[in-house]
Structure 1
Amino acid sequence: MQDKEEKEFTLQKRRCLVVWVYSLKQLKTLKRYGFIQYVSRRMKYVVLYMNEEAIEQAEEKINSLHFVRRVERSYRPDVEMNFAEKIGTKAAYQQEDEGFNVEELNTQIRLAENV
């Protein structure tokens, strides 16, 4: 039996925050802000996922906590991941002009016998 009301599935835009901490004792307070994906006990950082629209407010609040060193935002959602147009074309090998001029030189190799 199908319900008359069909619920539509929508994807939530999420982003990752890497929270560098002094101590891992306060992990329970970080659970309030989002889903903890990974905890590095040796390097003392926490990978935290949360909704995109709440990230700026949460980042400020997390950064103001006394046990937090710094908070880094993930840039993966900002990077374009569509490589379909570039694979196998010359556009894949082209880079933006960074002020360096590269000239291709036509050099001829001469053997010592012919010199």
Structure 2
Amino acid sequence: MFPERSGIIVWFSDLKAASKHLEKYGNVHYLSKKLHYAAMYVYSSRLDETVKQLQKLPFVKKVERSYRNEIKTEYNNNIPDKTRFYTL
């Protein structure tokens, strides 16, 4: 139903240029004025070509991929429940 998206962090030198131009490459989630970075979401199918295009922009210093999709987010509890030993 929803397309698969990946997160990227774009480090930039010019806030005004970043706020104008980054919207056409993906969904800008957050722009940090103080630290000069933007958190964005782009389609996973076009991730590599979008990163290459962003790196060519004159105000972009560095582009980093988010590895959140690759981290296991389902946890299991293998520790036995000790509450039954401490009941009155």
Q: Give distance in 1, aligned partners of 2:52 and 2:32.
A: 22
Q: Among the aligned pairs, what percent are the same residue?
A: 28
Quick check: which one's strand share is greater?
2
Return 5+ residue gaps in structure 1 as ranges. Answer: 1-9, 91-115
Return 5+ residue gaps in structure 2 as ranges. Answer: 81-88
Q: Give distance in 1, aligned partners of 2:43 and 2:71.
A: 18
Quick check: which one's helix share is greater?
2
Q: Give distance in 2, aligned partners of 1:55 and 1:33.
A: 10
Q: Give distance in 1, aligned partners of 2:75 and 2:3.
A: 23
Amino acid at match of 2:78: G
User: Which residues of 2 match residues 82-93 of structure 1 at below 5 A?
Assistant: 82-84=74-76, 87-89=77-79
Aligned residue pairs, count: 79
1:38-78 alpha-carbon deviations (Å, 9 max, x no partner): 01000000111111111110000101111000000000001
Q: Which runs of 4+ in 1 moved over 2 A?
A: none
Q: Give distance in 1, aligned partners of 2:67 and 2:32.
A: 20
TM-score, normalised relative to structure 2: 0.83
TM-score, normalised relative to structure 1: 0.65
